[in-house]
Amino acid sequence: MLFLQLVVYLAHAAAILPYPFDIDQGEGYDLNAGWLLAQGRSIYTDNESFPYFSSNYPPVYSLAVAAATGIWGPVLLAGRTVSLLATLGLAALIFLAARERSNGLGGLVAAGAFWMSDYVYHVTPLARVNALTGFLALGGLLCAGRAGWAWIAAGAAMLLAALYAKPTAVDAVAAAILWLWLEDRRVCLVVGAGLAAATLLIGATLELITARAFSLNVLVGNLNPFVPGQLEQYFANFALLHAVPLGLAAYSVARSIRARRIDGVQLFFLAGLAAALGVGKWGAGESYFLSAIVASCILAGQVAGRLFERGGPAAALLPALFLAQSIVSAHGAVSTRLPGLPDRGLQSAALAPEPGYADLERGHSIVTRLRAQPGPGLSEDPAFELAAGKEVVGNTTHLRNLYQAGLWRSDNLVADVAARRYHTVVLDAELYPEPVLAAIGRHYFLYDTVVVHRARQQIFLPGAS
């Protein structure tokens, strides 16, 4: 049952890889950042002038996507391929980490538990930063814990790259540093000082060459407000859908604490749970649990492998537990073909459904309209603009965050809208800052509504004031 989910995952990835439009709204923006880098353009600006676009992530994933666009061009296939390869590499690391501390069967259980996760299914095949961050973070942690300076240096480099893929990788960095402190304080001080110096040097360089736009967009711009109740809702859902791996991981950690001997993966598990508290922020989602999922799967595999070796009632019970977990965590083809087994992930409605021919056809109708007119369009789902060969204008939710924090003035974009600079405006969730939406309402009229992958795309054309 565990490895049936691998087949389900790969079938899902194959279905969405070539789909040219956004499944998650941020995909097009992350792709656009890579495409801009491939053209030698900056991805960090003050957002005050056309095209009002900045990435709100560090540059590592964008650099990987930039390389992929050299093969496929500015299409979501490029970003999703980077994510798929990173996810496969992450699963391989999970297998190796569990096998090293137990046996081959434990490694298989760990990898199988990873594929069983609804959250992994939803977020890792998308053109987003999460899978690559997870691969670099776990790879860095495992390498840093091995003997020999070459391994340690490789681990530190991967951890640094993970931080500059997504700052939430700080959980892996913290786990690695604490692990090294417990094992060899001299090595810990060298690695810690080196990582701190490299992080600050790279950050300072990016600040200098972007005129301080790097920190504005990547650090300050991501300080979103907390939404009451969201943290509790996500943690309850996470615990339900990962109960068996979490229980086995907690058992592993408890035994190690009693023995006063804790390892890096156990520290990573605890740090990942602490970092997942950020899921309470507006705009956060299932990806915030990826570190905790990865670490819990490794620990669950290690415990399962040892129990299977010993035999007895506990070993006999494990298959039943994992079978029950796979039923609770059913998703993809299992959910769609078997009644009574819904995908219970909180983001399942948006991320789980696979696009069909009708979605492709309707999406292309929007692209045709954008492509037919000279000049730029304005679309909340940027993949339409990229498919039409147009400049991506704005980064919707990012501009909203900056505006609400008092860090972005909407005057120039509002003036563009008032002047009807955009021949077509396509809104999905109406997430632009309020002054921009108000200007669209004054100067454009609703021409049509097209449903693409369950998203209601509202098409506006210029009208009289």
Confidence of residue 372 (pLDDT cuts 50, 70, 90): very high
* Selection from 262, 322, 324 nearest residue 101 by Cα: 262
Which of residues 315, 350, 385 is at a domain's end? 350
| Residues 313 and 209 occupy one common structural domain | yes
Shared domain for 200 and 177, answered yes or no, is yes
pLDDT tier, 80 (very low <50, low <70, confident <90, very high otherwise): very high
Average pLDDT of 104-112? Answer: 95
Do residues 150 and 184 both lie within one domain?
Answer: yes
Amino acid occupying residue 316: A
Q: Which domain holds residue 456?
A: 21-54+356-465
Does residue 393 sit in the same domain as residue 434? yes
Which of 323, 350, 377 is the last residue in one of the domains?
A: 350
Per-residue model confidence (pLDDT) at position 147: 85
Q: How far apart (Å, rounded) are the C-alpha atoms in residues 75 and 38?
A: 13
The predicted pLDDT at position 313 comes to: 86
CA 294/CA 301 separation, integer angstroms? 11
**Is residue 48 predicted with pLDDT exceeding 80?**
yes
Tell me whether the omega of the peptide bond preceding residue 355 falls within 30 degrees of 0, making it cis.
no
Q: What is the mean pLDDT of residues 439-462?
A: 96
How confident is the prediction for the chain on average, in pLDDT?
95
- For residue 122, give every residue at least 6 positions away whose Cβ sits within 8 Å of its Cβ, in sequence order, or none: 286, 331, 345, 347, 348, 351, 352
Beta bridge mates, 446: 460
Q: How far apart are the first and last CA of the chain?
A: 60
Q: With 60 as the cut, is the pLDDT of residue 98 above it?
A: yes
The 10s digit of each residue's pLDDT in 303-318 is 999 999 888 888 889 9
Examine the domain organization and report whether 152 and 231 are in the same domain: yes
**Taking the alpha carbons of 357, 362, 365, 370 in that order, is the dihedral positive or negative?**
negative
R_g of the chain, CA atoms, integer Å: 23
Burial (CB < 10 A; 0-12, 13-18, 19+), residue 372, is exposed
- Beta-bridged to residue 425, according to DSSP, are 378, 460
Please indicate, yes or no, if residue 253 is contained in any of the structural domains.
yes
Report yes or no on 2 lying in a domain.
no
Task: With cut-offs at 50, 70 and 90, classify the pLDDT of residue 223.
Answer: confident
Among the listed residues 160, 172, 163, 209, the one whose alpha carbon sits nearest the alpha carbon of residue 57: 163
**What total of structural domains would you count in the chain?**
2
Predicted pLDDT of residue 2: 64
The answer to the question of residue 11 being in a domain is: no
> Angle, to 10 degrees, between the axis of helix 26-38 and the axis of helix 76-101?
100
Considering the domain boundaries, does residue 70 fall inside one? Answer: no
Assess whether pLDDT exceeds 60 at residue 465: no
Are residues 382 and 314 part of one domain? no
Q: Is 38 found in the same domain as 93?
A: no
> What is the rounded CA–CA span in Å between residue 348 and residue 30?
21
The reply to whether 115 falls in a domain is yes
Return the pLDDT at 464: 67
Asked if residue 5 belongs to a domain, the reply is no
Query: Which pLDDT belongs to residue 149?
Result: 92
| Residues 174, 99 share a domain | yes
Residues 44 and 85 in one domain: no
Examine the pLDDT at 1 and tell me if it is beyond 70.
Answer: no
Condensed to tens digits (0 to 9), the pLDDT of residues 135-183 reads 999 999 999 999 899 999 999 999 999 999 999 999 999 999 999 999 9
pLDDT in tens, 406-430: 999 999 999 999 999 999 999 998 9
Q: How far apart are CA 74 and CA 272, in angstroms?
A: 33
Lowest mean pLDDT among 52-56, 240-244, 460-464: 460-464
Residues 240 and 283 occupy one common structural domain: yes
Residue at a domain's end among 311, 333, 350: 350
For 106, counting Cβ atoms within 10 Å of its Cβ (0-12 exposed, 13-18 middle, 19+ buried), the class is buried
Kindly state whether residues 402 and 462 are assigned to the same domain. yes
- Report how far Cα 87 is from the mean position of its chain's Cα atoms: 11
Is 205 contained in some domain? yes
Percentage of residues of the chain with pLDDT beyond 90: 91
